[in-house]
Amino acid sequence: MSSANVIAPSFPRRRVPAAPLLLLLGSVALYIGVAFSTGQTRMLEVEGVVGLLQRMVALGIVAIGQTFVILAGSIDLSVANLISVAAVLASFIMQGRPEMMLVAVVAVLAVSAVVGFINGALVSRLQVSPFIATLGSGLILQGLLSASFTNFAGSVPIEFQAVAYGALGPLPYSVIGLFLLAILASILLRATKFGAHLFAVGGNAEGARLAGIRTDLVIIGAHVLCSLTAGVSGLYLASRLRSGAPWVGRDGVYDLESIAVVVIGGTLLAGGRGGVWGTLAGVLLFAVLDASFNMLDVSAYPKLVLRGGIVIAAVAIYTFRSRELAA
């Protein structure tokens, strides 16, 4: 992933256009435009906007984690399957009993952290390519999960369903949680040593190592954070769907979509540059696309074609000015 970074040429400092802001404005404009042109202005009222933001939560949480990993110059393809594991584990442990809620949450986060640790160790210690390491671990997770559970397992008590369905006034807890998470992540990236090290490792792993940074710990840390967010996303989905099933992660295509929104948001796949708000703007774009396609009554198949085109266009818009060679 960062083959060009072993001997880092000092490439010209091009100005990355403020991708997050552009995306945000573009998405908002699209949403408003479609709502007006189809006469569905009620979608612009509070409830409609809240519904739009709600679409962002599941992908948004895990995409924040994916941002960390990609910043480090790695990638995580196991998140979709980990989300499934988290959702199933949570509802299985809870079995509808409120007293087991804390146990379930702790267990899910623990398992997620372990998976992240393994991913990070595979990449940094065993030097396995991140693509393969996380593809492999994802397959292993999915296989073990599907072999043990073939359908929804257990259920989530009403109290826990509040995570997905509860609200503070008009704003759902889950949306508030997403933005709090984003703020935390942003602080972690911009104001801590870990964040600085993360950018360094992603930008030039060899140089960072020579500068005394423990690159393996940084990479492991990034993977652990990513897996933790996958666990949280799984918990949210278990709450929203009232139970966890082995296919929730796969069906949501959270692996490829989280990578797509991170890159669309301006974070370079080679690592070293980007941020959390760009990712969220990418997630907003996807949510707006979903809502807009519904409003425009676009049928399923043209949607796919358009989505593919938009993914490429959203990234090409700022990469085409790059003077670096892409692979």
Partner 1 sequence: MAHVARRINVALVVFLLFYLVIGLLQPNYLEPAGAMNFLRRAAPLAILAAGQLFVLISGGFDLSVGSLVTLTVVGGSMLTANDPGNTWWAIAALYATGLCVGFINGAVVAYLRTPSIIATLGTLLSVNGVAMMWSGGSPRGYLPENFRMFGRLVFHDVPVVKIFPAAILVFAVVWALAQWGLHGTVFGRRVFAVGDNARAAQLAGVQVASVRIAVFVISALAAVTAGILLGGFGGVSVDVGVGLELQAIAACVVGGAQLMGGRGTLVGAVAGALTLTALFTLLTLLGWPQPLKETAQGVILIIAVAFGAWRRRRTG
Partner 2 sequence: MRLFKWIAPAVSGTALAIAAPYAASAQNFDDPREFQAARDLLKMTPSGPEGKPWEQNLGGKEVDTSKYKKPGPYRICFSNAGVDNPWRVVGWINMQAQVDVLKDDIKSFKAADAQGKDDKQISDINAFVQSGDCDALIVSPNTTAALTPAVEAACKKLPVIVFDRGVLTTCPVTFVNPVGGYGWGIQTADFIVSKLPKGGKVLALRILPGVDVLETRWSAANRIFKENGVNVVGAEFTGGDNAKTKQIVEDYINKNGRIDAVWMDAGATAVAALEAFEDSGQPYPIITGEDQEDFLKKWKEKGLTAMAPTYPTYQWRAPVIAAVKVLKGEPVIGPTWKLPQPVITQGDLDKYVDDKMPPLHYAMCGCKDLPGYPQRWGGK
DSSP string, 14-60: -----HHHHHHHHHHHHHHHHHHHTT-GGGGSHHHHHHHHHHHHHHH
132 contact choice in partner 1, partner 2, none (CB below 5 to 8 Å, kind-dependent): partner 1
* Contact call for residue 148 and partner 2 (CB under 8 A): yes
Interface residues for partner 1 in 266-295 (CB under 8 A)? 269-270
| Angstrom distance (rounded) from CA 262 to CA 91 | 29
3-state secondary structure 236-274: HHHHHHCCECCCHHHHCCHHHHHHHHHHHCCCCCCCCCC
Structure tokens given for 195: 């964040």
133 contact choice in partner 1, partner 2, none (CB below 5 to 8 Å, kind-dependent): partner 1
* Contact call for residue 144 and partner 2 (CB under 8 A): yes
Of these, 48, 136, 177, 207, which contacts partner 1 (CB under 8 A)?
136
Of these, 138, 157, 202, 282, which contacts partner 1 (CB under 8 A)?
138
Q: How many residues bind partner 2 (CB under 8 A)?
A: 47
Three-state DSSP at 171 gives strand
Q: Closest CB to partner 1 among 190 and 321?
A: 321
Structure tokens given for 63: 């995409």
252 contact choice in partner 2, partner 1, none (CB below 5 to 8 Å, kind-dependent): partner 2
* Contact call for residue 205 and partner 1 (CB under 8 A): no
Of these, 37, 150, 192, 322, which contacts partner 2 (CB under 8 A)?
150
Structure tokens given for 73: 């110059």
Residue 32: exposure state from Cβ atoms within 10 A (0-12, 13-18, ≥19): middle
* Contact call for residue 24 and partner 2 (CB under 8 A): no
251 contact choice in partner 1, partner 2, none (CB below 5 to 8 Å, kind-dependent): partner 2
CB of 299 to partner 1, least distance (A): 9
Q: Closest CB to partner 1 among 67 and 137?
A: 137
* Contact call for residue 303 and partner 2 (CB under 8 A): yes
CB of 294 to partner 2, least distance (A): 5
CB of 117 to partner 2, least distance (A): 7
CB of 57 to partner 1, least distance (A): 22
Distances, alpha carbon 204 to alpha carbons 53, 72, 266, 273, in Å: 36, 9, 18, 11
Structure tokens given for 65: 């984690």
Question: For the chain, how far is it from start to end, CA to CA, in angstroms?
Answer: 9
* Contact call for residue 327 and partner 1 (CB under 8 A): yes
| Site mask for partner 1 (CB under 8 A), range 86-125, x = bound | ------------------------------------x---
List all residues 6 or more positions away from 66 whose beta carbon is below 8 Å from its beta carbon.
75, 76, 79, 226, 229, 258, 259, 262, 279
List all residues 6 or more positions away from 131 whose beta carbon is below 8 Å from its beta carbon.
1, 75, 77
- Contacts of the segment 194-200: beta carbons below 8 A, 24+ positions apart: 194/218, 194/221, 198/68, 198/71, 198/72, 198/222, 199/71, 199/272, 199/273, 200/272
Q: Which residues bind partner 2 (CB under 8 A)?
A: 40, 42-43, 47-48, 51, 54-55, 58, 92, 111, 114-115, 117-118, 121, 140, 144-145, 147-155, 161, 165, 237, 240-243, 245-246, 248, 251-252, 290-291, 294, 297, 299-300, 303
Q: Which residues bind partner 1 (CB under 8 A)?
A: 1, 3-4, 9, 122, 126-129, 131-133, 135-147, 256, 259-260, 263, 269-270, 300-312, 315-316, 319-322, 324-327
